[in-house]
Structure 1
Amino acid sequence: MPYAESGDGVRIAYQTGGGGSSVLVLLAGQACNHHWWDAVRDDFHAAHRTVTFDYRGTGESGKPDEPYSIEGFAQDVIAVLDDLGADRAHVYGTSMGGRVAQVLAARHPERVRALVLGCTSPGGPHAVERGNDVRKALAGPGAAARRALGELMYTPAWFAARPGPFPTLGDPAMPAHARRRHLVASNRHDAWDALPGVCAPTLVVHGSDDLLNPVANAHLLAGRIPGARLHLIPGARHAYFEEFRTTASPLVLDFLAEHEAVT
């Protein structure tokens, strides 16, 4: 497995696949490694060379016990692209990965061709927070909290019909200190002031029934980023990209195809 070295010396494990002519960076959710994308990654391989990585604190990457930030995760993406020799890439970020993608596009516009923001939020005081009932369910005892998270990610019937494991529910080998630091990093994200400066063509995708990250945040992002396009997937929850892949993957592929000529 190849590694890039971040600016502060942390080893970042990354993975590539596919044989397409353009690079597509896929960014996973909070406290998850690259396996977040396992169920759908092949959908993009005919058109794109996909790149994933293990966030610091997850997978095969370094796990320093020091503050993490969304800005730092974005810098880790730059380190991976540099290691690959990729000047520009399409970027598809979901959940916390969408937060990373926002910062990447705003701070490093020269590296982002087209941007897809899935099931994510601008963060900060303008964001719409999940309800107290959702917070209470996620704070319950282990098995109950995991079931609650599963049913926030997927429709209950879909989730119950599959044995798992579900990589979208977190990296089981992640140390406790890294899990806490991921949570703090995500909670401190606030891209509101930076979003009007995003110049990459942008698609915002969200499940209409997402309670983990309320759908109102998709409207905020689409209204804040110049020229952004919004698409809601009816009936989908947080992991829309997996359960509703037959809708979501073609939607993203079509959008990226429109912007293959972006220079």
Structure 2
Amino acid sequence: MPVLDIDGIRTRYEIVGDGPPILMFSPGGFDSSLDNWTTFGRYKDLGFIDALSQEYTCVVFDRRESGQSGGRLERLAWPKYIDQAIGLMDKLGLGAVHTMGGCVGCSSAALLAVARPERVRSMVLFSPAGGVTYRTAQQRRFTEHLGFALEHGLEAIVTLARSTTVGFSKDPRVGPWAPALRTDDRFAEGYAAISLERYATIVSGSARMLFDRDTVPGPEPEDLQLLDVPALIVPGEDASHTRSAARYLQECLPQAEYWDVPVAQQTPVASSARVLEFLSRH
């Protein structure tokens, strides 16, 4: 698959289909690779890429520190993910696009609309991640990782990350930079050389900035309330994708359509049809 350098970070992407572009923010938490649209959880069965690419150009990519994209050892925050998305759009010559987020990708899709509303025609927010259980789980993951780092050191994290393909979401010990540690020797060397004190500041700051609320993280509610971007919101119904998170977005977004059906009725045919119908009007 093709790779672009975006502000010094290797970004793997793929373009599928033909038609108006849809920039797709992958599901999967800290393992948000483009493959997740076809291999991860319920998205494997929903088949959005196959369905949408019949009428649209699906632009999928590995979020930084995911899949085969690179990373940077710095305090992680939502705007840094948006910088990557905007850089990808610019490099590909994309003007205004539709966007679609799955799971945690909804946060990035919404924040892109806040940051650059003139670049977003509409957004589909499918099963947004959020809720008090989600927040505490994410923060606990960072705490467990930092504890392992302080006890065993950063070289041990490099060794562990390279001995497995498991990501941060399943094994907190490997940390959020595990994919970059596996694919970039230079990054791994610099990572292992940083002081533990400095690393602890980066990790704790990342946890605080990324997961600071008991609903959908990322964009501020007041910014969402001022958006004129049309949105389709499709709720999840588990501890990490709460209906309260979806309803929060509905409450905040002035031009929101809420598809009020349970997950059991969000079949591949019905879901693709609802998304395509929404996109066709914008």
TM-score for both structures, normalised by structure 1 = 0.72
1:14 equivalenced with 2:22 (yes/no) = no
- Measured in 1, the distance between the counterparts of 2:280 and 2:168 equals 30
Matched letter for residue 132 of structure 2: E
- Measured in 2, the distance between the counterparts of 1:43 and 1:61 equals 26
Matched letter for residue 231 of structure 1: W
- Measured in 1, the distance between the counterparts of 2:168 and 2:233 equals 22
- Measured in 2, the distance between the counterparts of 1:192 and 1:80 equals 26
Identify the residue that residue 143 of structure 1 maps to in structure 2: none
Residues 235 and 263 of structure 2 are in contact (CA less than 8 Å); yes or no, is this contact kept in structure 1? no
- Measured in 1, the distance between the counterparts of 2:281 and 2:274 equals 11
Q: Cα RMSD over matched residues?
A: 3.2
Identify the residue that residue 221 of structure 1 maps to in structure 2: 249
Percent of residue pairs identical: 24
Cα shift at 1:131: 7.7
Matched letter for residue 252 of structure 2: R
1:233 equivalenced with 2:236 (yes/no) = no
- Structure number having the greater helix percentage: 2
- Name stretches of at least 5 consecutive residues in structure 1 with no aligned partner: 140-166
Bigger CA radius of gyration? 2
Identify the residue that residue 22 of structure 2 maps to in structure 1: 24
Residues 168 and 174 of structure 2 are in contact (CA less than 8 Å); yes or no, is this contact kept in structure 1? no
Identify the residue that residue 201 of structure 1 maps to in structure 2: 230
- Name stretches of at least 5 consecutive residues in structure 2 with no aligned partner: 39-43, 142-165, 179-202, 213-217
Identify the residue that residue 280 of structure 2 maps to in structure 1: 257
Cα shift at 1:95: 1.7
- Measured in 2, the distance between the counterparts of 1:102 and 1:169 equals 24
- Measured in 1, the distance between the counterparts of 2:168 and 2:71 equals 19
Residues 36 and 168 of structure 1 are in contact (CA less than 8 Å); yes or no, is this contact kept in structure 2? no
Residues 12 and 62 of structure 2 are in contact (CA less than 8 Å); yes or no, is this contact kept in structure 1? yes
Matches within 5 A, 1:72-151: 72-120=80-128, 128-130=131-133, 135=137
Cα shift at 1:170: 5.9
Cα shift at 1:200: 1.2
- Residue in structure 2 matching 1:71, options 72, 79, 90: 79
Identify the residue that residue 147 of structure 2 maps to in structure 1: none
- Residue in structure 1 matching 2:271, options 240, 245, 248: 248
